[in-house]
Amino acid sequence: MSSSRQSPLCVVATEVEASHLDPELPTLITGIGRLNAATALTDYLAHHSAPSHIINVGTAGALSKAATPGIVHPIGTVYLHDFSHEAIEAICGDSPYPPLHLNSTGLRLATGDQFIDTASARQALAKHAELVDMEGYAIAWVAQRYSIPVHLLKIVSDDANSDSRRLWHDAARQCSRLLGEWVRSQ
């Protein structure tokens, strides 16, 4: 699929999350996780015309009460949570993966290749973010490297707890419907 510079590109991790998006909207399904997201988006951008902007829509685990279920949350800042920033900063002087500031308003998103389903992991992440996902940082990173505006839009699928694995698939279907309605209304 090719997109012109005037068209946005919608980027999602799974087919479930894309199931209610407008079929006329250019959409890239990356697969779950940072490597899949970064590789798929980079490959797309290398072989297609640059989109006007990139919209990443998807589900995220709630880390705080600010992440209200049923509402599409724009992301203001995204950071990589499963990278040893302190150790690398001690060696190199700074982190190669600093927080990415996307908007002046919006929630903070933590991205990592872990499905957060324990209270201890949730509490640790909640100090720095309201939401957690597995692709957002990678998508924002690639978009910024290509100088393409990027918007991350997340909807709560679960509370990042012990029930999350069991509930995600059904929640993702409902979230996809809400995300699709929101994108169509914009």
CATH number for the domain that contains residue 164: 3.40.50.1580
Tell me if 4 is assigned to some domain.
Answer: no
Tell me if 95 is assigned to some domain.
Answer: yes
Q: What is the largest CA-CA distance in the chain?
A: 48
Look at the chain and report how many structural domains it folds into: 1
| CA neighbor of 35 nearest in space, from 58, 68, 13, 61 | 13
Condensed to tens digits (0 to 9), the pLDDT of residues 3-15 reads: 445 799 999 999 9
Condensed to tens digits (0 to 9), the pLDDT of residues 130-178 reads: 999 999 999 999 999 999 999 999 988 876 656 656 566 677 777 777 7
What range defines the domain where residue 104 resides?
9-178
Question: How many other CB atoms are there within 10 angstroms of residue 60's CB atom?
Answer: 30
Tell me if 89 is assigned to some domain.
Answer: yes
Question: Are 146 and 47 contacting, i.e. CB atoms less than 8 angstroms apart?
Answer: no
d(CA 154, CA 157): 9
Tell me if 184 is assigned to some domain.
Answer: no
Tell me if 154 is assigned to some domain.
Answer: yes
Whole-angstrom CA distances from 112 to 33, 74, 104, 133, 148 are 8, 18, 23, 7, 22
| Percent over 90 (pLDDT), the chain | 53
Tell me if 25 is assigned to some domain.
Answer: yes
